[in-house]
DNA sequence: TTACGTGCAAATAATTTGCAGTCCC
DNA sequence: GGGACTGCAAATTATTTGCACGTAA
């Protein structure tokens, strides 16, 4: 799905890229409405009222890490009438077409990351917050030997942080 | 909780250690009953019938990656009368005292790893199987700069594998 | 029009909890 | 004996699904 599919990826391929494009929209105009519209069209999803609104919330302000519940709350706050089921559906659809990335960190809730480029995360154990690791050079010195017949689909790394007491 | 608590851990500290001790029991005698008994005592848990049996299943045959459901099935198969609730309780208690490590990999079920040393995992996307990465030299070239006031609690890395088609 | 989307409520799935009865020290 | 432990069933939490109705192409 990305550049991590080679049998023997180099360390550079594994590392985060630092700055990530927020989406795969063919051309970003800066106009949220136009951009989200095009983003949806380009993956074959109808730009409905709720998908437009959710897309706006998701991709309108840089890289974000949200759970379905969080996005639902935001939508309600923003006076966007949408149901939690639709939020789940939309997040899953966007993930399926590669516009979002799912991150599992604590078994319970699932986070969706709007940054789909190869990168890793900090997880704040206290606040359950997920943050992209800013250091673009965090990388593996050596990629493990992959078992015969398999290839690397993706590498997920989570650096769990706790407050110094 | 481990050797990963320093503000600036070295790459060696982050890497897996290759061979891991299966538990923290003061002295391993090779007698499963004696070992599990002592393991439980040493962390202040009463060696009850069900905890002994579960401990035996968990630690009796090398490093394992189990879900609550899987361990429950094994216990039933082994004619050990135990309830699923107790399996959950026991797994959580063992995790709390540091005898097990929880691994989140796909949002849904939670895996418990009997190998509590620093190491990483392969995740087979097709079979939902979790495997310790055998390569002891898989390591980070550079540890990310940790935000002010935080320290690294742990680093979880999951290398997702898919079958070559 | 007409297949695709949405909302609602019910259905699942994983896990936790309350509580009465049981067992270890 | 008494607190720790267990089992069961009910409760929670996160997420999915069935289905009648609405809406974009």
Report pLDDT for B56: 93
Report pLDDT for A1: 32
pTM of the model: 0.82
Q: If phi over 0 gives left and psi between -120 and 50 gives alpha, with beta otherwise, what is residue B6?
A: beta
pLDDT along chain A (165 residues), means of 10: 35 38 52 86 94 94 92 95 96 95 89 92 90 73 83 91 90
Distance separating alpha carbons of residues A61 and A81, to the nearest angstrom: 20
> Does residue A27 belong to the interface with chain B, where contact is any CB pair within 8 Å?
no
Residue pair A14/A155 in contact by the 8 Å Cβ criterion:
yes
At B8-31, the pLDDT tens digits run 344 333 333 333 444 444 455 677
Report pLDDT for A40: 93
Report pLDDT for B138: 65
Q: Which of B110, B134, B142 sits opposite A138 (nearest CB)?
A: B142
Which of strand C's nucleotides are less than 7 A from any protein C-beta?
4-10, 13-18, 23-25
In which residue ranges of chain B is pLDDT below 70? 1-29, 135-139, 141
Report pLDDT for A75: 96
Q: Which residues contact B2 (CB under 8 A, 6 or more apart)?
A: B116, B117, B118, B154
Report pLDDT for B52: 95
Q: What are phi and psi of B89, to 5 degrees?
A: -60, -45
Beta strand residue intervals within B27-165, DSSP E? 65-66, 101-104, 110-113, 121-124, 129-132, 150-163
Residue pair A65/A81 in contact by the 8 Å Cβ criterion:
no
Beta bridge partners of A101: A113
| Angstroms from A113 CA to nearest CA on chain B | 14
Are B135 and A145 a contacting pair at CB < 8 A? yes
Task: Give the CA B123 to C1' D17 distance in Å.
Answer: 28
């Amino acid at each position: 799905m990305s550049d991590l599919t080679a049998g023997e990826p180099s360390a550079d391929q594994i590392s985060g890229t630092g700055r990530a494009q927020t989406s795969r929209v063919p051309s970003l105009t800066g106009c949220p409405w136009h951009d989200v519209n095009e983003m949806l069209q380009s993956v074959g999803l109808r730009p409905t009222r709720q998908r437009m609104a959710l897309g706006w919330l998701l991709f309108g302000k840089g890289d974000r890490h949200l759970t379905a519940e969080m996005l639902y709350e935001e939508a309600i706050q923003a006076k966007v009438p949408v149901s939690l089921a639709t939020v789940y559906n939309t997040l899953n659809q966007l993930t399926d077409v590669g516009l979002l990335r799912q991150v599992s960190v604590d078994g319970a809730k699932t986070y969706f990351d709007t940054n789909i480029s190869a990168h890793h995360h900090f997880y704040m154990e206290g606040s359950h917050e997920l943050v992209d690791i800013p250091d673009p050079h965090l990388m593996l010195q050596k990629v493990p030997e992959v078992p015969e017949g398999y290839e690397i689909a993706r590498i997920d790394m989570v650096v769990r942080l706790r407050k110094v007491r």
